[in-house]
């Protein structure tokens, strides 16, 4: 029960990595605030957690809107008076295209959710964590925050931004007992990355992507959740500013 009595926020917890991470924190005793733009998915996660005896509430949020992010953190403060752990995980993939053909709209949307959303959330979270004198934040970046990924310029730019923001904020608050890290997942089987859909789009692509990963498989969301929990636990007490690949050896 590593996170007993802890208040944990997970954005984008209505699906995929966020949902599995929310479950993992709840299993360790945390009270988990589920935040997502998708009300149905978010409520489902809360129902799943409470059915298993965990504690959870849902707050609908569009992380790309500052008013929403402000309201989310105000609501947490009013209800619980603190925020111990924040996982800024909400993200979108965008529409794949080569750079000269990529749309301006795709750039704006991907940057607004994946990069600006993380800034808005960290801004509010750090204000609260400074008041209470402690906290841990993990941002979900990507291996696309560490290297290029052809046909995904906006996504790659947004995830490099997440890595840069993580390192900068980590340095700013290192002496304030607030640790800030990022995980950089490789392809993880979720609705955002579905190998079956991928295979229908382009036969053989799924195997080609797998073959580039030394472990020769895609990740399971629980492997991301376990890493996030470790980064937020006291076992990682001297770890801050890390953009940690969780990638079966890909970036090696």
Ligand X SMILES: NC(=O)c1ccc[n+]([C@@H]2O[C@H](COP(=O)([O-])OP(=O)(O)OC[C@H]3O[C@@H](n4cnc5c(N)ncnc54)[C@H](O)[C@@H]3O)[C@@H](O)[C@H]2O)c1
Q: What positions carry a catalytic annotation?
A: 155
CB nearer to ligand X: pick between 36 and 84: 36
Q: How far is the CB of 165 from ligand X (least distance, A)?
A: 13
Question: How many whole angstroms separate alpha carbon 209 and alpha carbon 141?
Answer: 19
- Identity of the residue, 135 or 221, whose beta carbon is nearer to ligand X in the bound complex: 221
> Nearest to residue 70, comparing CAs of 57, 81, 61, 79?
61
d(CA 137, CA 139): 7
175, 193 Cβ separation under 8 angstroms: no
Nearest residue (CB) to ligand X, 196 versus 234 = 196
β-bridge mates for residue 8, sequence order = 32, 85
E strands, 12-148, are 31-36, 55-60, 85-88, 135-140
Q: Distance from first CA to last CA of the chain, Å, rounded?
A: 33
CB 75 within 8 A of CB 61: no
The residues binding ligand X (CB under 6 A) are 11-12, 14-18, 36-38, 41, 61-64, 89-92, 113, 140, 142, 185, 187-188, 190-193
Q: How far is the CB of 168 from ligand X (least distance, A)?
A: 19
Nearest to 248 by CA among 192, 191, 159, 184: 184
Q: How far is the CB of 243 from ligand X (least distance, A)?
A: 12
**Shortest distance, position 145 Cβ to ligand X, whole Å:** 8
| Cβ atoms of residues 55 and 229 within 8 Å | no
Minimum Å gap between C-beta 119 and ligand X is 13
Compare residues 147 and 167 and give the one whose CB is closer to ligand X: 147
């Amino acid at each position: 029960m590593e996170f007993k009595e802890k208040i944990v926020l997970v954005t984008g917890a209505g699906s995929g990595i966020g949902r599995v991470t929310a479950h993992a924190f709840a299993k360790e005793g945390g009270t988990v605030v589920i935040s997502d733009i998708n009300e149905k998915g978010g409520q489902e996660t809360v129902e799943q957690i409470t059915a298993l005896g965990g504690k959870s509430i849902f707050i609908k949020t569009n992380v790309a809107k500052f008013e929403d992010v402000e309201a989310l953190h105000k609501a947490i403060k009013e209800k619980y008076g603190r925020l111990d752990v924040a996982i800024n995980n909400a993200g979108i993939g965008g529409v794949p295209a080569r750079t000269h053909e990529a749309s301006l709209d795709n750039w704006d949307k991907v940057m607004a959710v994946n990069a600006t959303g993380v800034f808005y959330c960290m801004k509010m979270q750090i204000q609260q964590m400074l008041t209470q004198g402690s906290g841990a934040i993990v941002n979900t970046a990507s291996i696309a925050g560490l290297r290029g990924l052809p046909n995904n310029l906006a996504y790659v730019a947004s995830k490099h931004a997440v890595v840069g923001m993580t390192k900068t904020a980590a340095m700013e608050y290192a002496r304030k007992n607030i640790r800030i890290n990022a995980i950089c997942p490789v392809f993880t089987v979720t609705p955002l990355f579905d190998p079956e859909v991928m295979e229908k789009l382009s036969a053989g692509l799924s195997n080609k992507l797998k073959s580039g990963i030394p472990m020769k498989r895609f990740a399971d969301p629980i492997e991301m959740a376990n890493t996030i929990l470790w980064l937020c636990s006291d076992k990682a007490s001297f770890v801050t500013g890390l953009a940690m690949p969780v990638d079966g050896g890909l970036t090696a």
